[in-house]
Amino acid sequence: MLGLPGDPVFYALLVLVLGFFFFCYLLLRRTLLSFREGQRER
Protein backbone atom coordinates (compact mmCIF):
# COMPACT_ATOMS: atom_id res chain seq x y z
CA MET A 1 0.00 0.00 0.00
CA LEU A 2 2.18 2.86 1.28
CA GLY A 3 5.41 0.90 1.66
CA LEU A 4 5.14 0.68 5.43
CA PRO A 5 7.88 -1.32 7.17
CA GLY A 6 6.78 -4.86 8.05
CA ASP A 7 8.11 -4.41 11.56
CA PRO A 8 5.91 -5.65 14.42
CA VAL A 9 7.52 -3.10 16.75
CA PHE A 10 6.49 -0.30 14.39
CA TYR A 11 2.86 -1.44 14.42
CA ALA A 12 2.90 -1.88 18.21
CA LEU A 13 4.12 1.71 18.63
CA LEU A 14 1.54 2.94 16.14
CA VAL A 15 -1.29 1.26 18.07
CA LEU A 16 0.05 2.65 21.35
CA VAL A 17 0.18 6.20 19.98
CA LEU A 18 -3.32 5.95 18.48
CA GLY A 19 -4.71 4.56 21.74
CA PHE A 20 -2.98 7.35 23.67
CA PHE A 21 -4.51 10.05 21.47
CA PHE A 22 -7.95 8.42 21.73
CA PHE A 23 -7.66 8.29 25.53
CA CYS A 24 -6.61 11.97 25.68
CA TYR A 25 -9.54 12.91 23.42
CA LEU A 26 -12.05 11.11 25.65
CA LEU A 27 -10.54 12.65 28.78
CA LEU A 28 -10.66 16.18 27.31
CA ARG A 29 -14.24 15.76 26.11
CA ARG A 30 -15.37 14.49 29.52
CA THR A 31 -13.74 17.37 31.40
CA LEU A 32 -15.16 19.91 28.93
CA LEU A 33 -18.68 18.50 29.32
CA SER A 34 -18.47 18.50 33.13
CA PHE A 35 -17.04 22.05 33.03
CA ARG A 36 -19.96 23.26 30.92
CA GLU A 37 -22.51 21.67 33.25
CA GLY A 38 -20.72 23.29 36.21
CA GLN A 39 -21.07 26.70 34.55
CA ARG A 40 -24.72 26.05 33.74
CA GLU A 41 -25.57 25.35 37.41
CA ARG A 42 -24.40 28.81 38.57
Residue 39, pLDDT score: 83
pTM tops 0.75:
no
Question: What is the secondary structure of 1-40 as a DSSP string?
Answer: -------HHHHHHHHHHHHHHHHHHHHHHHHHHHHHHHHH
Q: Considering just the CA atoms, what is the radius of gyration of the chain in Å?
A: 18
Domain total for the chain?
Answer: 1
Asked if the model's pLDDT at residue 3 lies above 70, the reply is: no
Could you report the per-residue pLDDT of 13-22, keeping only the tens digit for each? 999 999 999 9
Q: Which amino acid is at 39?
A: Q
Nearest to 14 by CA among 26, 29, 2: 2
